[in-house]
């Protein structure tokens, strides 16, 4: 047992860090570090640079363009990129539909889509949730009917993250209305430029446009835009969601945010004393740091087990639960740290290149909005209540 990185692992970390420092555009780094809005082309540019270097898809098999890293290397890569304020990778192509296409897609789909995911030539979004079915996906009502050589899709999706940037969406729709709820669902790959696809923004309480509704009105797609077999969409969706959880703990990012929190709390003062040196706040930060240390080690233990061929089980639910709670506590403490200056609402200040006079400290503007926004992380990807249900039932046998 040895909890230190090996010399090889340390060398790998150094290599990644050096490369990121040389290749991450300064403007993008600054925007991520200071919680500014990223522009679409900054996401795409960064993903292309990674892909060109062979690092576009850390968790993919080498045959599809993955780098063939060990789980610990993947962890180091995530950690270093977060430390260096690289944009968080978008999961929709890389970690969601990509693995599904690899496992269940046709050879033609694999050849066409996978390289375009690597280079972000396609921007994917996810068409699962519907207004009536959040945690209960099996109750979805969108439908697809085969009409000659085409599927005709009708329905409405919601909470579609960054659909405003996407050109393609993977959609669950019901194709068999007689079968049991889970059995009659299929998965489709839909070009969003097609007639009948409409995207409507949903503005969240932080004032941001991050999620959308997507409407399908008689959208006609070629017959071969179905994934795998008709009626197997539920199986593919479960496969996809189990992959989505990988990395959902966002440990690297939380470590970077913890450093930011400490920096803010060292700058803010109470009666002239740095906030971080006042015992109440100091101990709250310390408590959070310990939880994060524990979660990182738990994650490393899971990765080690994976290396020995053990599939992730309860650990994935656990990482989602604790990881999301830690992310929320971070946003809460950041907001607390700035005291009354959490209150001014200054959405302009989140634009890159904005050079107006900030209201209060220059780091204050995003903090309360982030706190509001981050309530989502215990809701999406299977709410934490669902995660606990699964943990209790599947792992503990209750």
Partner 1 sequence: MDFSLSDTQQMLRDTAERLVRERYGFEERKRILAGPGGFSRELWATYAELGLLGIEVAEDQGGIGGNFQDLAIVLEAFGRGLVVEPYVPTVVLGAGLVNAAGSDAQKADILPRVVGGEAYLAFAHGEPKSRYTLAHVATSATADGDGFSLTGDKAVVLGGDVADLFIVSARTAGKAGDTDGLSLFLVPKDAAGLTVRGYPTVDGTRAAEVSLRGAKVGRDALLGPEGGAFPLIAQALDRGAAALCAEAVGVMTALNELTLDYLKTRTQFGVPIGSFQVLQHHMADMFIAQEQARSMAILAASRADSADAAARSRAISAAKVQVGKSARFIGQQSVQMHGGIGITEEYVAGHYFKRLTTIDRTFGDVDFHLTRFATLAA
Calpha distance 82→260 (Å, rounded) = 12
Neighbours of 332 (CB within 10 A): 16
Please identify, among the stretches 253-261, 275-283, 312-320, 355-363, the one whose residues bind a copy of itself according to the rule CB under 8 A: 275-283
Smallest gap from Cβ 279 to a copy of itself, in A, equals 4
Tell me, rounded to whole angstroms, the distance of Cα 319 from its chain centroid: 14
The entry of partner 1, a copy of itself, none near residue 397 (CB within 5 to 8 angstroms by kind) is: partner 1
CB-neighbour burial class of residue 64 (10 A; exposed 0-12, middle 13-18, buried 19+): middle
Q: How far apart are the first and last CA of the chain?
A: 33
Distance CA 215, CA 220 (A): 13
Between residues 61 and 207, which has the closer beta carbon with respect to partner 1?
207
Residues 248-307 within binding reach of partner 1 (CB under 8 A): 268-272, 279-283, 285-287, 289-291, 293-295, 297-298, 300-301, 304-305
Taking residues 321 to 340 in sequence order and writing x for each that binds a copy of itself by CB under 8 A, - otherwise, the string is --------------------
Q: Which does 345 bind (CB under 5 to 8 A by kind): partner 1, a copy of itself, none?
A: partner 1
Q: How many CB atoms lie within 10 A of CB 107?
A: 7
Q: Is 84 helix (H, G, I), strand (E, B) or coil?
A: coil
Find the helix or strand (DSSP H, E) in which 213 lies.
strand 209-222
Q: How far is the CB of 263 from a copy of itself (least distance, A)?
A: 23
Site size toward a copy of itself (CB under 8 A) is 3
Tell whether residue 318 is a contact of partner 1 (CB under 8 A).
yes
**Residue 254 near residue 334, CB atoms below 8 Å:** no
**Binding of a copy of itself at residue 136 (CB under 8 A)?**
no
Q: Which of 283, 351, 362, 385 binds a copy of itself (CB under 8 A)?
A: 283
Q: Is 385 in the site for a copy of itself (CB under 8 A)?
A: no
Q: Does 309 bind partner 1 (CB under 8 A)?
A: no
The count of residues interacting with partner 1 (CB under 8 A) is 88
- 277 touches a copy of itself (CB under 8 A): no
From CA 28, how far away is CA 86, in angstroms rounded?
7
b/e sequence 206-217, b meaning 16+ C-beta within 10 Å: bebebbbbbbbe
Question: Judged by CB, which is closer to a copy of itself: 280, or 309?
Answer: 280
- Tell which positions 173-212 bind partner 1, by CB under 8 A: 202-205, 207, 211
Picking from 305, 315, 307, the residue whose alpha carbon sits closest to that of residue 247 is 315
* DSSP secondary structure string for all residues of 303-326: HHHHHTTPPP-HHHHHHHHHHHHH
- 4, 178, 279, 355: which one binds a copy of itself (CB under 8 A): 279
**Least distance from C-beta 38 to partner 1, angstroms?**
20
The answer to whether residue 242 forms part of the interface with partner 1 (CB under 8 A) is no
Which residues belong to the active site?
244
- Give me the residues that bind a copy of itself (CB under 8 A), please: 279-280, 283
């Amino acid at each position: 047992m040895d909890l230190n990185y090996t010399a090889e692992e340390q060398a790998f970390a150094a290599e990644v860090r050096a490369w990121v420092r040389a290749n991450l555009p300064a403007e993008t780094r600054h925007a991520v570090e200071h919680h500014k809005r990223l522009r679409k082309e900054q996401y795409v540019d960064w993903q292309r640079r990674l892909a060109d270097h062979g690092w576009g898809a850390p968790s993919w098999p080498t045959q599809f363009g993955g780098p063939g890293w060990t789980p610990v290397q993947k962890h180091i890569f995530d950690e270093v990129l977060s430390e260096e304020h690289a944009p968080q990778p978008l999961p929709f192509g890389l970690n969601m539909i990509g693995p599904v296409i690899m496992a269940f897609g046709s050879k033609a789909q694999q050849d066409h889509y996978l390289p375009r995911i690597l280079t972000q030539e396609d921007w994917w979004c996810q068409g699962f949730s519907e207004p009536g079915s959040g945690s209960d996906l099996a109750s979805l009502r969108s439908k697809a009917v085969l009409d000659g050589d085409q599927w005709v899709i009708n329905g409405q999706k919601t909470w579609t993250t960054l659909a405003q940037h996407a050109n393609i969406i993977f959609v669950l729709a019901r194709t068999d209305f007689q079968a049991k709820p889970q059995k009659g669902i299929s998965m489709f790959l839909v070009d969003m430029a097609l007639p009948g696809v409409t995207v409507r923004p949903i503005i969240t309480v932080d004032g941001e446009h991050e999620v959308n509704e997507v409407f399908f009105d008689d959208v006609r797609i070629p017959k071969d835009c179905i994934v795998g077999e008709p009626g197997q969409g539920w199986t593919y969706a479960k496969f996809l969601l189990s992959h989505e959880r990988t990395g959902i703990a966002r440990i690297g990012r939380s470590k970077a945010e913890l450093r930011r929190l400490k920096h803010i709390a060292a700058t803010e003062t109470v009666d002239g004393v740095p906030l971080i040196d006042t015992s109440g706040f100091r101990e709250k930060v310390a408590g959070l740091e310990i939880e994060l240390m524990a979660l990182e080690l738990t994650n490393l233990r899971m990765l080690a087990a994976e290396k020995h061929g053990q599939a992730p089980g309860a650990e994935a639910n656990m990482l989602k639960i604790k990881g999301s709670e830690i992310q929320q506590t971070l946003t809460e403490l950041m907001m607390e740290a700035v005291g009354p200056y959490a209150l001014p609402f200054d959405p302009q200040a989140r634009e890159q290149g904005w050079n107006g006079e900030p209201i209060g400290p220059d780091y204050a503007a995003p903090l309360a909005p982030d706190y509001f926004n981050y309530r989502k992380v215990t809701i999406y990807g299977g709410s934490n209540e669902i995660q606990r249900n699964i943990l209790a039932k599947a792992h503990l046998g209750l």
